[in-house]
Amino acid sequence: MEKLQQNMNPIPVRTWKWLGVNDTVLEADIPAIAGYSKQPVTEGSEKGVTITDIRLHRETVQFMEKKMDSGVSEAMRDFVKKNQNSGYFIEIEEGKKIGTPIILQYDLDEENPTLVDDHFILAHENSEVTIIINYTSSCTKNGFHSGVTKVLAQRGAVVHLIKVQMMADQDTHVDAISAIIDESGQIDFTLVELGALQTITSCKTKLVGKNSTGTIHSLYFGDQNRKIDMNYVQTHQGRESLSSIEARGVLLDHSQKVFKGTLDFIKGSSGSKGKEEEYTVLLSPTVRNRSIPLMLCGEDAVEGQHAVSTGKMDENKLFYLMSRGLSDVEAKKLIIEAEFQPILNKIPVTELRDTISTYLRRRLNHV
């Protein structure tokens, strides 16, 4: 087994060490990485899409990713490159609008308990695509996932990337996304983090082109002794670029969560606008919730907004539903599902939305 000692997922600007938010430590040992024998691509044969093994495009990928800040740490980024056992180069032809979502389904089991995936998504000018990557686990032993996904949206391209994580209670999930958006391009991220014992994720977007747009919609759920560390960064480089970060979550039992959301307006990004908001429902007095909304500004003519809301469940809503005959548990489950629904509705596959809802309802049985 391998142990990476250095800290991961650093916040862009460090703050007081005693807050415990500057970075995080991977608590699990990294197991020996064997091959991943399953075929994850379940959908994606539409004309205009090319899906090939990323190892066939190493030189092309290395050239394009030089400007990308990928990985939750340099050590983990290098680990993924060295130990990758699955990964695809997904290319969308210029001007192609792909109507059917491309779906990658990864499931860890007894024969495949480890996954190290490396993906690169290249959307050529004025193309559009939706890509879903779903991570699940049926392992009875400790499953381990670490991955990097890089996205390049060229001029006028639109990419919808959806990542869903519903791994087993004892598993470890480390995932990083890096993206570059050219002029008038758009990337929408929908990130759903529901399982694993420890989750460490980052999503870093560079809006380099004029009128580029980047959005992050995040959903998380912590119970038992889960630890969640999320680090989202939207860097405005192009003029009149737009960004938003929206995160919603629920914490109960002894779970812990750190949310770091950064809007970075660098010099030259005049006319840009960004906003971020996070809403967390606390269902236990023993949870630990930390949120760091960060705004960095090197340009005068920009507009940024941030807001964080943390609190218990709305007692008025709870009383209203219980007065209509629902039990305490049923009423709480309904309120939480309603809070999550705006983000879940961004997933275009009904079967996956239903699976997530069922998974959540099962996990909420003891609220």
In a domain, residue 25? The reply is no
2 within some domain = no
The pLDDT of residue 104 is: 96
18 falls within a domain:
no
Average pLDDT on 103-129 reads 96
What rounded mean pLDDT belongs to the chain?
A: 91
pLDDT for the residue numbered 351: 94
Same domain, 84 and 232: yes
Residues 180, 221: one domain?
yes
* Confidence at residue 367, expressed as pLDDT on a 0 to 100 scale: 67
Residue 194 inside a domain? The answer is yes
Residues 264 and 274: their CA atoms lie apart, in Å, by: 9
For residue 294, what pLDDT is reported?
A: 93
Q: Are residues 306 and 326 in the same domain?
A: no
Give domain status of residue 16, yes or no: no
Q: Where are the beta strands (DSSP E) in the chain?
A: 41-43, 49-53, 88-92, 102-108, 114-123, 128-137, 144-153, 158-166, 172-181, 186-193, 198-207, 213-222, 227-236, 242-251, 256-265, 273-282, 288-297, 303-311
Is residue 74 assigned to a domain?
A: yes
Task: Check whether residue 82 and residue 160 sit in a common domain.
Answer: yes
CA distance 174 to 284: 26
7 found inside a domain: no
**How confident is the model at residue 240, as a pLDDT?**
97
355 and 222 fall within a common domain: no
Looking at the structure, tell me whether residues 94 and 129 fall in a common domain.
Answer: yes
Q: What is the pLDDT averaged over residues 149-159?
A: 97
Q: What is the mean pLDDT of residues 206-221?
A: 97
**180 shares its domain with 112:** yes
Are 297 and 328 part of one and the same domain? no
- Verify that 191 and 105 share a domain, yes or no: yes
Residue by residue, DSSP assigns 257-273 as EEEEEEEEE-TT-TT-E
Both 132 and 38 in a single domain?
yes
What is the model's pLDDT at position 44?
61
Q: At what angle do helices 328-344 and 315-323 cross, to 10 degrees?
A: 120
Confidence of residue 3 (pLDDT cuts 50, 70, 90): low
Regarding whether 124 and 92 lie in a shared domain, the answer is: yes
Q: Mark which of 312, 331, 357 sits at the end of a domain.
A: 312
Structurally, the chain folds into a number of domains equal to 2
Return the pLDDT at 5: 55
3-state class percentages of the chain: helix first, strand second, coil last, to nearest 5:
20, 45, 40
Tens of pLDDT along 285-324?
999 999 999 999 999 899 999 887 877 777 787 777 788 8
Give the range of the structural domain holding residue 166, as residue numbers without chain letter. 31-312
Q: In this structure, is residue 302 part of a structural domain?
A: yes
Tell whether the model's pLDDT for residue 257 goes beyond 90.
Answer: yes
307 and 342 assigned to the same domain: no
| pLDDT reported for residue 319 | 76
